[in-house]
Amino acid sequence: MSQSTVEKSNDAVRPPPRRAIVGDIEAMQHTTNIDRRQCSRVVPLKVLCLGLSRTGTACESTSTHHILVTWCRYDQSDGKEFINGRLMLMIGPPALRQALLDLGYSDVYHYAAILNENPRDAEMWNDALDAKYDPSGTHKKPFTRKDWDQLLGHCMATTDTPTVIFYRELLEAYPEAKVILTVRDSPEAWVKSYQSTIGQYALAMRPPATFWGKFVKWAFAPRDELGEGYFNRVVKWYDMIGILMRDLEKGTNEDSVKYYTSYNEEIQRLVPKERLLVMNVKEGWKPLCDFLDVAKPEWAFPQVNSTEDFGRRTAKIIDHFGGVIMWNMAKTLVPAVALAVGGLAWWMRSK
């Protein structure tokens, strides 16, 4: 990487600009609306990162709850800004994605691409999920390399869900790509991290239990049918989610540990050793740069933001989402009340 791509201040090398994290308010004001079906490959896909979610981040959960925030996406309608959102998980910047971006791999696909970069990507991911898990019911055909090139043609690398759901398909489509399998310190550490973050998110995404909760969601909460369709498909069909959630509800980790171990063993069985790197992101730059045959950057390996920053972002997003619900309620109820009062006044005068 050219030295001109970094800034120097007081003889300290600063990293390139950081990619906005999942749930970043500023980023959500600038989402794109690209129809990937109209795209094709413009850069080579060089790296498939097939580690399970929660293995490619240096983020450690500081709590087993209160990790949930609100996902808000900004759109424009009739010249007025509104928030289109739903509950989502903010787990901190994925270290491996940012590391690959720092090394010049552009772009790097990640779950954040659906949530707050180009939400329309969910259209093709829904097609891919339908074709994989319900081909007879949806009449969708399995994705070929042409389909993957449309969806991922702007990317030189992939990480995280949903790409790891299609690890077999991507390995078959891109046999020339190098493969990185990220791991945690132990299977138990991975289960704990997943259950305390994404597991809590999945629990929160269940339909409201009370009549009032169901009514408020139906009547006033912003809708995102495309994103919800994607989420519902993943929860329904991705076996890892079901295993982790059953263990979470039972208060155990036995089946989840088996899944993690079995999955990692399968990746190592499918990928030739010369194309595979097994790494823990705690190892930093050296194994990654050696494997990719690139120079080690002069700045530190990407880390998550501080707890204080995390808390501030969380509070800001929750305020926005709560505000739009209250605004939707006001737009609906205030005119109705005014109409009722006006009608009552007219009726009383006419008597």
Contact 155, 43 (CB under 8 A): yes
Write the pLDDT tens digit of every residue in 274-284. Answer: 999 999 999 99
Query: What pLDDT is recorded for position 195?
Result: 81
Write the pLDDT tens digit of every residue in 213-270. Answer: 666 555 555 566 777 788 889 989 999 999 999 999 899 999 999 999 999 999 999 9
Q: Give me the percent of the chain exceeding a pLDDT of 70.
A: 62
Is the omega angle on the peptide bond into residue 107 within 30 degrees of 0, that is, cis? yes
Calpha distance 296→299 (Å, rounded): 9
Q: Is the pLDDT of residue 209 over 60?
A: yes
Contact 298, 6 (CB under 8 A): yes
Calpha distance 145→151 (Å, rounded): 10
Q: Which residues contact 68 (CB under 8 A, 6 or more apart)?
A: 87, 88, 89, 200, 201, 204
Model confidence at 19, pLDDT cuts 50, 70, 90, reads: confident
DSSP per-residue string spanning 191-257: HHHHHHTHHHHHHHTSPPSSHHHHHHHHHTS---HHHHHHHHHHHHH-HHHHHHHHHHHHT--HHHH
Q: Which of 19-28, 220-229, 261-270, 340-349 has the highest mean pLDDT?
A: 261-270
Helix, coil or strand: residue 68: strand
Mean pLDDT of 195-216: 65
Calpha distance 307→291 (Å, rounded): 32
The H-assigned helical ranges of the chain are 25-28, 95-102, 112-116, 121-133, 135-138, 145-152, 167-173, 187-196, 198-204, 211-219, 225-237, 239-250, 254-270, 285-292, 307-350
Task: Tell me the angle at which helices 225-237 and 239-250 cross, rounded to the nearest 10 degrees.
Answer: 70
Write the pLDDT tens digit of every residue in 48-91. Answer: 999 998 887 655 544 333 333 333 333 333 333 333 333 344 44
Calpha distance 282→303 (Å, rounded): 10
Calpha distance 126→226 (Å, rounded): 8
Q: Is the pLDDT of residue 351 over 70?
A: no
Calpha distance 219→325 (Å, rounded): 9
Q: Is the pLDDT of residue 196 over 60?
A: yes
What is the number of alpha carbons within 13 Å of residue 123 lying toward its C-beta? 13
Query: What pLDDT is recorded for position 143?
Result: 97
Q: In this predicted structure, which of 103-107, 252-256, 283-287, 310-314 has the lowest mean pLDDT?
A: 310-314
Model confidence at 3, pLDDT cuts 50, 70, 90, reads: very low
- Distances, alpha carbon 131 to alpha carbons 143, 147, 232, 311, in Å: 7, 12, 15, 39
Containing H/E element for 74?
A: strand 68-77
Q: Is the pLDDT of residue 314 over 70?
A: no
Q: Is the pLDDT of residue 171 over 70?
A: yes
Calpha distance 217→204 (Å, rounded): 13
Query: What pLDDT is recorded for position 303?
Result: 77
Q: Can you list the domains of the chain with their CATH numbers?
A: 20-350 (3.40.50.300)
Model confidence at 324, pLDDT cuts 50, 70, 90, reads: low
Compare 269 and 314 and report the one with higher pLDDT: 269
Query: What pLDDT is recorded for position 92?
Result: 41
Q: Is the pLDDT of residue 185 over 80?
A: yes
Write the single-letter amino acid at 109. Y
Mean pLDDT of 17-29: 72
Query: What pLDDT is recorded for position 304?
Result: 52
Q: Is the pLDDT of residue 308 over 50?
A: no
Model confidence at 174, pLDDT cuts 50, 70, 90, reads: very high
Query: What pLDDT is recorded for position 217?
Result: 58
Mean pLDDT of 22-38: 81
